[in-house]
A and B are shown apart, each in its own frame.
Chain A
């Protein structure tokens, strides 16, 4: 009787601890993001108010200023958004094609030094963006693709390929090789077998690899800040700096741009979360 009772109490205590732990963790994860969103809708005076104002007023001023073009110190958000889109979409598409081809090679072929190639590829991904940005800047300047979409796209393709290889390798590995063999016996060439059978089966996995690559490009700063100079090629992460002046920061405006950056990322991640994990855990390092 007593022991049952004490076990029951213990259980109840654990439950309460578990619940409050989760609550705290989730709050810490959510509040910073929500704070950004909230402040994008608050007037600057209120953001700067001392003592702090806790009941927010709602205003669209920051968004109006942001989309209102270059007037009144506005930031050319449209251009930045367009640049980000072009650079991210194109570099993702290319990185996926190249990465998928490499991932397929790792998943389907046996060859000498496979692990070596794989690790080697990954190590190029490990080169810090800042460390690369200095020499890349000079090389690109020589070639004349500084401050162009092409330059940034090239850089992002190279940056995303290794990881795309890792992910797609994982997805193709999960597809039994008998599938393409059956297709070949059914009359396909190897090329047809890939596009008719293996690709459709791995499609959702490839899509999540694509979204991962997209997010990396979408969010990248270290390289973009050096390789882009003008409105014609600056991406949104670099554009955030436009809201900083020597001693002040236009917090409201910056928050509005931040929201514009987060929303697409949020939607995309939501779409692929499941596959992404599968790809990461099944991929890589196995001969």
Chain B
């Protein structure tokens, strides 16, 4: 069993505190994605698990064993780096076999393990090339091969796809997921790309400024964000947020005299005069005839489209609501000209309310 436990992990770089007490339990075989804006401490966390950074405070355990002071080689982990870090003076075969050679395994075993890894990743043809003679995607694959050769307890990935072009990235994403299904190891994966996080993760850890903001399955983060940061970070396009003030106990007064009822989930949690942010996703603001669900509370609005982004199966519509630019969506798209006025339907029971002062979600 190789669960990974971080208890109250703190990291200082000199005076600068990069991590403020990270607590995280990762169970055996789980695919956990650390996601967050650049500089939030994802890599630092991962590198501390790997043993590449000193731990300023707290405790890291892998498979129940505290590893705080163990060097990387004694942690039985493997890591794929953003720039691959292939050994440029070795062939693909030697790159794959390097860790086993260091472990003093005999040549036949090393060759077998390298061939096996090459088989899994489709590298058989490239075994005698040097990294400089490989394309980006091939290098990426070799880096992964080097990680799986040693059958580690935990795989660590630090933004492994960010140097690839968009198409290859999608393709490798699928391969990583398949690899996880095949080998079933614990994977800790770092990315700043929320789509990667959503598609890959069993569980997402969303970080900001050295803190964990929310931990949960992709759908939990999507459907019940704990604050406006999660709401705008997860999902594309980001959640629309409009300033408003609670009036009475069940109405939110937006600018322009518009008002909406307090969503059922937040009822009883707000008080008169509270400043809030009213949030909803583009999927929940659609023109008539596109709103899939016919049940639930709805508000009808007439809005002027200012800009459209056709994506094929759907079109994102930009419009103004209560003085704020918001985005809606149209399924079964047809050409829409800027300036066209459409009748939109806002699904009120899918809306969110956040406290304007703390940014935290208000939810029962």
Point out residues on A near B: beta carbons under 8 Å.
176, 178-179, 181-189, 192, 196-197, 200-201
Contacts and interface: CB of A to CB of B under 8 A. Distances in A.
Most chain A CB within 10 A, of B50, B102, B146, is at: B102
B290 to A, nearest CB: 48
A185 B89 contact: no
Contacts of A179: 85, 87
A186 to B, nearest CB: 4
Interface of B: 50-52, 71-73, 77-79, 81-83, 85-89, 98-99, 102-103, 146, 150
A182 B71 contact: no
A181 B85 contact: yes
A190 to B, nearest CB: 8
Contact of A186 (B51, B83, B88, B98): B98
B87 A185 contact: no
Given A176-B83, A188-B73, 12 more contacts: A181-B81, A181-B85, A182-B86, A184-B52, A184-B71, A185-B72, A185-B73, A185-B77, A185-B99, A186-B102, A186-B150, A200-B89
A107 B78 CA distance: 25
A87 B159 CA distance: 51
Contact of A185 (B50, B82, B83, B88): B50
A186 B85 contact: no
A200 B71 CA distance: 23
- Listed from nearest, the 9 A-B pairs whose CB atoms lie closest are A186-B99, A178-B85, A182-B85, A187-B102, A187-B73, A184-B72, A178-B81, A185-B72, A200-B89
A16 B2 CA distance: 75
Contacts of B72: 181, 184-185
B187 to A, nearest CB: 15
B78 A185 contact: yes
Contacts of B83: 176, 178
Contacts of B78: 185-186
B88 A189 contact: no
Contacts of A188: 73, 102
A201 B81 CA distance: 18
Contacts of A183: 87, 98
Contacts of B79: 181-182, 185
A185 B147 CA distance: 9
A176 B85 contact: yes
A201 B88 contact: yes
A212 to B, nearest CB: 22
B89 A187 contact: no
Contacts of B71: 184, 189
Q: Determine chain B's interface SS by DSSP, over half rule.
A: loop
A205 to B, nearest CB: 13
Nearest to B14: A110
Nearest to A192: B102
Contacts of B52: 181, 184-185
Contacts of A189: 71, 73
A200 B89 CA distance: 7
A196 B73 CA distance: 15
A137 B146 CA distance: 57
Nearest to A203: B89
B130 to A, nearest CB: 12
Most chain B CB within 10 A, of A182, A183, A192, A197, is at: A182
Contacts of A192: 102
B252 to A, nearest CB: 50
12 contacts: A176-B85, A178-B83, A179-B85, A179-B87, A182-B81, A182-B87, A184-B73, A185-B79, A187-B73, A188-B102, A189-B73, A197-B87
B131 to A, nearest CB: 11
Contact of B89 (A182, A184, A186, A201): A201
Nearest to B102: A187
Nearest to A202: B89
A189 to B, nearest CB: 7
A178 B86 CA distance: 9
Contacts of B86: 182
Most chain A CB within 10 A, of B87, B88, B150, is at: B87
B124 to A, nearest CB: 22
Contacts of B88: 201
A109 to B, nearest CB: 13
Contacts of B85: 176, 178-179, 181-182
B182 to A, nearest CB: 21
Contacts of B150: 186-187
A144 B250 CA distance: 98
A181 B156 CA distance: 13
Nearest to B80: A182
Nearest to A200: B89
Contacts of B50: 181, 185
B81 to A, nearest CB: 5
Contacts of B102: 186-188, 192, 196
A79 to B, nearest CB: 41
Most chain B CB within 10 A, of A176, A186, A192, is at: A186
Contacts of A196: 98, 102
A189 B79 CA distance: 16
Contacts of B99: 185-187
A162 B85 CA distance: 30
A188 B87 CA distance: 13
A148 to B, nearest CB: 40
A201 to B, nearest CB: 6
A15 B83 CA distance: 45
Contacts of B103: 187
A185 to B, nearest CB: 5
Nearest to A184: B72
A186 B51 CA distance: 12
